[in-house]
Amino acid sequence: MDVDAVRFLFHEEAGAPHVTLKGEAFKYIVKVRRHRVGDTVALRHPDHSETLYTYRLEESDGRRAELQRLGEEQRRIGAVRPLHIGWCVIDPKSVEKVLPQLNEMGVARITFIACDRSQRQFNPDFDRFRRILEASMQQCGRSEWMALETAASLEAFLEANPQTVVLDFTEETLSETEGIDTVLIGCEGGFSDEERERLSQCRTVRFDTPLILRSESAAVASAAKILL
């Protein structure tokens, strides 16, 4: 696979016949990606990211780069298999650390749920999460945005996702992943007794390890096990 044919830059003018890159966009393409005059550069528009536009870098003077459009194609790049993570709310800083990895592995959707042991002062910052995802997508080449949402309660999440598989302490290890498209991960401290009672009708699995994983580690491990 040609890596440079997959990586791209999000730009609000993607699709225009001529695009001028300045500021951070210029730094990313010329300083970070090391593109030079004559190179082909790929752009996507944030609002219709399935379309990949190719440009030729025509001119660069150290502060800006002039791009001329060569063509466009519908090119979707993402995971072959979708995965939805239901994630009991934890410190957003912990989510931010692993969000790029989850994005690169192809997690399709994350629903944040206020569970019994979630600290109530924590609220997901979706604007910041989107900026993190944008940088990750440009790096890994993913064209589809990860969906981010909240559920009003654990009951509401389970009602909307009755096929949910719960990651918790149990006898069954997560070995066969076929058919798993939604996984529920607890917050630090795990599920309360009342929540475990509600989850008793769901399939529950664990990792084959005697160690206790942090919530964010469990999210990454689940995605890797199911998607890769």
Same domain, 88 and 69: no
Predicted confidence at residue 162, as pLDDT, reads: 96
Same domain, 43 and 97: no
Same domain, 27 and 89: no
Same domain, 103 and 209: yes
Q: Are strands 18-22 and 64-74 parallel, antiparallel or unpaired?
A: antiparallel
Same domain, 62 and 130: no
In this model, does residue 13 exceed pLDDT 90? yes
- Which of 1-5, 61-65, 175-179 has the weakest average pLDDT? 1-5
Same domain, 214 and 117: yes
Q: What is the DSSP letter of 201?
A: G
Where do runs of H (alpha helix) occur along the chain?
A: 3-6, 23-26, 92-105, 126-140, 154-160, 193-198, 215-227
Q: What is the SS3 assignment for 90-106?
A: CCHHHHHHHHHHHHHHC
Q: Indicate whether 79 belongs to any domain.
A: no
The distance in angstroms from the start CA to the end CA of the chain is 17
Handedness of CA 173, 176, 179, 185 (dihedral sign): positive
CATH of the domain at 59: 2.40.240.20
Domain that holds residue 11: 3-74
pLDDT in tens, 119-169: 878 889 999 999 999 999 999 999 999 999 999 899 999 999 999 999 998
Cβ-contact 161, 84 below 8 angstroms: yes
Predicted confidence at residue 76, as pLDDT, reads: 93
Predicted confidence at residue 120, as pLDDT, reads: 77
Q: Does the global pTM surpass 0.75?
A: yes
Task: Reduce the DSSP state of residue 116 to 3 states and report it.
Answer: coil
Same domain, 100 and 69: no
In this model, does residue 1 exceed pLDDT 70? no
Mean of per-residue pLDDT scores for the chain: 94
Cβ-contact 220, 100 below 8 angstroms: no
